[in-house]
Amino acid sequence: MRLGLSIGYSGAEMKLPLERVKRAEQLGYDCVWTAEAYGSDAVTPLAFLAGQTSRIKLGTGIMQLAARTPANAAMCAATVDALAGGGRFIAGLGVSGPQIVEGWYGQPWGRPYYRLADYIAIMRKIFRREAPVSHDGREIALPYTGEGATGLGKPLKSILHMNPDIPIYIGAGNEATVRLTAEICDGLLPLGLTPSSAHEYVPWIEEGFARANKKGEAKGFDNFDVTASVHVDINDDVKAALARLKPEVALYVGGMGHRSKNFHKDMMTRRGFGDAANRIQELYLAGRKQEATDAVPDEWVDEKSLVGSPDRIRERFKRWAELEMVDSVYIRTTQDAAVDLMAEAAGLAPAR
């Protein structure tokens, strides 16, 4: 089991846990992952970290599609990969949600399934430089010929001779997008995967493999990476540790999305916590955020986290390590001690 370290996106101030990242690299962690919402971006921190590290991979978990055109996403990925020495960048993509896409980026929500397919196809063409890039997709076309076009656009080939095999992952949690990811991508960042829910994803992934194989592309779990995520909090008081993680659950289930379209709430409902999900959303949207946080069940947080004493964390990590479909787990933590503990639990060999 490979390990990664997520540093997420910034709070009110932009601070990178540089020493924690360096320690993770020293301990043999495979990748450091960034994120973006509507504050700091996911790519710039990786450019900085590329100059501060030598081996650890650099992944976006995730770049939001609406934040960049596919050409710009490819340029960002290729630039950081080149600065890092090549073969280190992982382009993790995701659609975010309609509130951010339309409210922050000022773009229509549209048909994100087809937009993902077009976006990735264009990025592949740019990476490979086999010809000037053109694409006639259902959501994106190059050159652009729509409203306001001059008709002067022409297919172009990247000036930079970039790594043609930069891996592309998608962050996804619903059947259609997971299936698409397995069909056309190198890896999956499965939203909300836990040891007891991993079985949900297997048939979706296998359907994607089957579609790829019908097109003559050999796809299977042996050449497709599944990277899960888990919170880690060392604390002898388990209930206190769970309580520290509940505000984020309340935010995402209650407020990260519209009342009628919230992927996190839908997932919680699908897994048998529908009453709690409805209550969290009701309270959060009414401005009663602390009550929404208190309504988050301990069981929900404990299933998707590794909290408690070092011994409890080691024991519960075995459930993750035994997941045959999962190749890597990236941890989310603010504790330097947790980075060391997880390296020990996963049996990592320190980098040389």
We report the CATH number of the domain holding residue 13 as 3.20.20.30
Same domain? For 155 and 293 the reply is: no
CA distance 234 to 244: 11
Report whether 29 contacts 56 (CB < 8 A).
yes
Residue 11 and residue 29 share a domain: yes
Distance CA 227, CA 346 (A): 15
pLDDT at 257: 67
Which pLDDT score is estimated for 203?
Answer: 97
Angstrom distance (rounded) from CA 71 to CA 184 = 18
Number of structural domains found in the chain: 2
Rounded to 10 degrees, the C-alpha dihedral 107/111/116/117 comes to -140
Specify whether 134 is located in the same domain as 245: no
Do 32 and 59 meet the contact criterion of CB atoms below 8 Å apart? yes
Q: For residue 299, what are the domain limits?
A: 237-306
184 and 241 belong to one structural domain? no
Do 287 and 230 belong together in one domain?
A: no
**With contact defined as beta carbons under 8 Å apart, do 56 and 24 qualify?**
yes
Average pLDDT over residues 31-52: 97
* Cβ(226)–Cβ(331) below 8 Å: no
What CA–CA distance (Å, rounded) separates 224 from 345?
24
Identify whether 156 is part of a domain. yes
Euclidean distance between CA atoms 162 and 87, whole angstroms: 10
226 closest CA partner among 204, 257, 256: 204
Shared-domain flag, residues 285 and 163? no
Whether residue 52 is found in the same domain as residue 28: yes
pLDDT tens digits along 132-162: 999 999 999 999 999 999 999 999 999 999 9
- Are residues 328 and 225 in contact, defined by beta-carbon separation less than 8 angstroms? yes
272 shares its domain with 176:
no
> Is the domain of 88 the same as that of 156?
yes
Residue 352 lies in a domain: no
pLDDT tens sequence across 112-138: 999 999 999 999 999 999 999 999 999
Band of pLDDT at residue 217, cut at 50, 70 and 90: very high
Provide DSSP, 28-96.
Answer: T--EEEE--SSSS-SSHHHHHHHTT-SSSEEEES-EEGGGS-HHHHHHHHHHHHHHTTSS-EEEEEE--
Residue 351 has what pLDDT? 63
E strand or H helix that includes residue 45: helix 44-50
Answer yes or no: is 289 within a domain.
yes
Same domain as 231, residue 184: yes
Per the prediction, the chain carries an average pLDDT of 95
Domain presence at residue 39: yes
Q: What is the mean pLDDT of residues 14-35?
A: 97
Q: What is the mean pLDDT of residues 64-72?
A: 98
Instruction: Encode pLDDT of 220-234 as tens digits.
Output: 999 999 999 999 999
Please state, for a pLDDT cut of 70, what percent of the chain lies above it. 99
Half-sphere exposure of 191 (CA within 13 A, CB side): 24
Q: Is the pTM of this model over 0.75?
A: yes
Q: What is the pLDDT of residue 145?
A: 93
Beta bridge partners of 328: 2, 227
Torsion of CA 174, 256, 62, 340, to 10 degrees: -100
Report DSSP state, residue 64: E
Residues 150 and 124 in one domain: yes
Binned at pLDDT 50, 70 and 90, residue 352 comes out as low
* Residues 172 and 257 placed together within one structural domain of the fold: no
Q: Does residue 211 fall inside a structural domain?
A: yes
The C-alpha atoms of residue 149 and residue 315 are separated, in whole angstroms, by: 60
For residue 186, the SS3 value is coil
Domain-embedded: residue 123: yes
Which of 66, 22, 21, 62 lies closest to 333 in space, CA to CA?
A: 21
Beta-carbon contacts of residue 280 (< 8 Å; ≥ 6 apart): 249, 250, 253, 254, 265, 268, 292, 295, 296
Domain membership flag for residue 351: no
Please say if the pLDDT value at position 47 is more than 70.
yes
